[in-house]
Amino acid sequence: MDDYNFPDITDRLVLDPSAFVHLQAYVCGTITLGAESSVWPMAVIRGDEGVIVIGDRTNIQDGCVLHADPDAYLTIGNDVTLGHGALVHGCTIEDNVLIGIGAVVLNHAVIGTGSIIGARALVTEGMVVPPGSLVMGVPGKIRPLRPEQQERISLPAKHYVALQRLHRERERG
């Protein structure tokens, strides 16, 4: 039998009172969730092996998977949208970023402020995406965003702040 040395998996959840975690989401480990942020059904956030910090007004949509390693913490900034089914692992996502549906962002990658990662794109381990960039494809190719694309990044984050308020009120009865 193998002898595995696992860290203490005690939950150390710091959830802002204005945050919303859907009852069908799974959240465990060392995690901080900021003000007016939201975690939707079937999302999995595992801070059991490394620290996860999620900023304010960030939404983790249905089916997302977030995980951190002991040497690759996961940090997500403010006003970030993680589209349905996105997988982010041990990386840094700065403020005002849109991660598209089904996109994958791997360990030690850095996504700069005001960027978009397209649906199903792959951000490889250690890739640095400059602020104001668009990444598309597998592996991801980087190009600058057009001004009209940058203007639209914050729309889903604002929408999900309003939506999480409705869900929190409904849960309170």
In tens, the pLDDT along 28-56 reads: 999 999 999 999 999 999 999 999 999 99
Instruction: Give 115-123's long-range contacts (Cβ < 8 A, gap of 24+).
Output: 115/145, 115/153, 116/145, 116/149, 116/153, 119/83, 123/91
Q: What does the pLDDT average to over 83-92?
A: 99
1 — pLDDT class (breaks 50, 70, 90) = very low
State the pTM of this model.
0.92
Q: At CB < 8 A and 24+ separation, what contacts does 29-35 make?
A: 29/68, 34/58, 34/78
CATH domain 12-172 topology:
UDP N-Acetylglucosamine Acyltransferase; domain 1 (2.160.10)
Q: How far apart are CA 51 and CA 41, in angstroms?
A: 22
Q: What whole-number distance in Å separates Cα of residue 92 and Cα of residue 114?
A: 13
Give me the sign of the Cα torsion angle 125, 126, 131, 137.
negative
The C-alpha angle with vertex 17 and arms to 16 and 23, in degrees rounded to 5, equals 95
Domain ranges in the chain? 12-172
Residue 117 in this model has a pLDDT that exceeds 70: yes
